[in-house]
Chains A and B, each alone.
Chain A
Amino acid sequence: MWLYTDTVTEHFQNPRNVGEIENADGIGDVGSLACGDALKLTLKIEEDRIVDAKFKTFGCASAIASSSALTEMIIGMEVAEAEKVTNEDIADFLGGLPKEKMHCSVMGREALEAAIADYRGMTLPSAEGEVVCECFGVTDIEIKRAIKESNLRSVEEITNFTKAGGGCGKCEDKLVELLRQSVSEGLKIVSPEVKPKRMTALQKIKRIEEVLDREVRPGLKMDGGDIELIDVDGDLVIVSMRGQCTSCAKSETTIKELVEKKLREQVLETLIVEEEK
């Protein structure tokens, strides 16, 4: 059982500003079903001031509470002021979050940044960074920022705040390096415990979903079909065809030739794609 503050519990039980603003001036959509939490933030902005904010969140109590708190904090703020809101501010507003749940507050800040960038028609700087944690798609820019802003001292703390390193753990060396780079800024480094290197399904799932979205689904949808990722077991990728594709005699060919080829090219050379029976 998590130890949540009364404020977290209160915001979880009575969330403020749930919903979606129609014709929003800024939209921030972060997270995914596979990752276990997602937040869609919509803003109404008049003369560079946030006059309304609404959210929809899929996730645990602290994700819902963080989203609710975020909207309460930013309504009435000027955009320039809202830009300075950090995940720490969100966590502080809630009286603190369990350390393993700090990434919920980070998700709030990310959605806010994305919504503001959308309002300004700009690309987020973090999106231009190099992806360090492929499991959860976290870039070096996001990690460095979290290290600096939240004064992180270990890989474990980076994982708690950004999710980076929480999947397969393969990026651990890079995380240690990013921590080292912060030494010049006067931070103490705690060496992480050496964990066995393992590859979890989550890393692959994230990449596979991206490739399916970008390369496969658009084509299938034109034919009234769709594809769903069911499971990844080692190198075996189980998918299921949806819609028109279910009855299509060519679906096996589609899977073998199209999906497997794309996934091998863009994710991992050894992947085998099979359709769920």
Chain B
Amino acid sequence: MDKVVYLDNNATTMVAPEVLEAMTPYLSTLYGNPSSMHTFGGQVGKAIDTAREQVASLLGCEPSEIVFTSCGTESDSTAILSSLRARPEKRHVVTSRVEHPAIKTLCENLGAMTAASYRVTMLKVSETGLIDFAQYLEALSEDTAVASIMWANNETGNIYPVPEMARAARERGILFHTDAVQAVGKIPISLKDLDIDFLSMSGHKLHAPKGVGILYVKRGTPFAPFLTGGHQEHGRRAGTENVASIVGLGKACELAEQKMDEENTRVKALRDKLETGLLSSIPRSMLNGAKDQRLPNTANISFEYVEGEAILLHMNRFNICASSGSACTSGSLEPSHVLRAMGVPFTAAHGSIRFSLSVYNTEEEIDFVLEKMPPIIAELREMSPFWPGA
């Protein structure tokens, strides 16, 4: 197969052709500044309004609750730091051990970011990567300013009970943020009836370009901007708008809404076929994550006694793209913090491969991967000093 088989959609996605088409005018003829008084700029402002409505429709919220940002990380930082400023007397944050680095690293460095001292509870997860709800409730205290739990995990695809967690936080007067970068567009979300104060999402995970994200801020939630300056985004995020990308993100949200069923039926079936096929044809392989509480597109599988980078580079010879939680792929010397939090043994953590699909994948591609993977794993195991044999 000459064509790239792209199964790394939790890393980033292809820009949808319709999205690119919607963006193009704003990179050429329609270059006006949306803040301008003249019609030439004003029409660009209208395009941003439309995008805001498209995003709000996908999230089931009001357009006025949407703030466009540069990426998921900016949205995460904005939400957490804004929450801490809104609750200056509180000195405790609740999050989990499996958050994306955008939250994890931020929470580990709150002292440096705020010049105040914070206590951070990082909730443990089970061996399937789930959070015990009782443990979560126990962590919420009088001193808690904000709880931040991801909606879905980027490595395992695990979905967390964010609506229930947000309600518990609200009942205790605690602000609630969720990093929904992996969840938006893959599972239905309707924010209007939920107690979520902040939600982060990113454009490039759902077929919009890189460099654009949004922060949902529930109406009535206290908010302090991260970037100050001009009055853009109603003073909630200064800086001239990334117009073309915002328009693209709006279009991508519209498409995601249309394809939500397909994602949860056809894509899910392809993922299941891939997962079942690999687990049955390759001995000593195992699923990482909670089988019945996952995104429809993600499969994280460990192949024991082999190393992830070596697997990926052999897959690369067949133009198959995926990711690994091994230490070697990151340049650090330790494997994925998510798999380690789940207690995945070292025999398996170094050999984990994440396959993440999209609506653009076909059954032919899955069959191709199912054909190529077993010999790759077998060959690497042949040369592994730890391989005890099947």
Residues of A near any B CB (own CB < 8 A): 2, 9, 12-13, 15, 18-19, 29, 33-40, 55-61, 63-64, 100, 136, 163, 166-167, 200-202, 228-231, 233, 238, 276
List chain A residues, Cβ under 8 A from B335: 36
Segment with Cβ contacts to A, from B155-163, B227-235, B243-251, B378-386 = B378-386
Q: Which 9 A-B pairs have the closest CB atoms?
A: A60-B328, A60-B309, A56-B385, A40-B385, A166-B333, A230-B343, A231-B343, A36-B327, A58-B384
| B340 part of interface (Cβ distance < 8 Å) | yes
A229, B349: Cα distance in complex, Å: 13
Q: Which residue of A lies closest to B337 (CB)?
A: A201
A276, B343: Cα distance in complex, Å: 9
| B310 part of interface (Cβ distance < 8 Å) | yes
A12, B382: Cα distance in complex, Å: 14
| B326 part of interface (Cβ distance < 8 Å) | yes
- Given A36-B326, A100-B331, A276-B343: A12 in contact with B310 (beta carbons within 8 A): yes
Is B317 touching A58 in the complex (CB atoms < 8 A)?
no
A101, B346: Cα distance in complex, Å: 20
Is B309 touching A57 in the complex (CB atoms < 8 A)?
no
Is A201 touching B340 in the complex (CB atoms < 8 A)?
yes
Is A58 touching B305 in the complex (CB atoms < 8 A)?
yes
Which residues of B from 310 to 350 have beta carbons under 8 Å from A? 310, 313-314, 317, 326-329, 331-335, 340-341, 343, 345-347, 350
| B306 part of interface (Cβ distance < 8 Å) | yes
Task: Give which listed residue, B124, B314, B331, B334, contacts A233 with CB less than 8 A.
Answer: B124
Q: Which residue of B lies closest to A231 (CB)?
A: B343
Shortest A169–chain B CB gap in Å is: 11
Is B383 touching A231 in the complex (CB atoms < 8 A)?
no
| B307 part of interface (Cβ distance < 8 Å) | yes
A29, B386: Cα distance in complex, Å: 11
Is A36 touching B383 in the complex (CB atoms < 8 A)?
no
List chain A residues, Cβ under 8 A from B347: 33
A13, B380: Cα distance in complex, Å: 10
Interface centre among B313, B335, B345, B382 (most CB of A within 10 A): B313
Q: Which residue of A lies closest to B124 (CB)?
A: A233
Shortest B66–chain A CB gap in Å is: 34
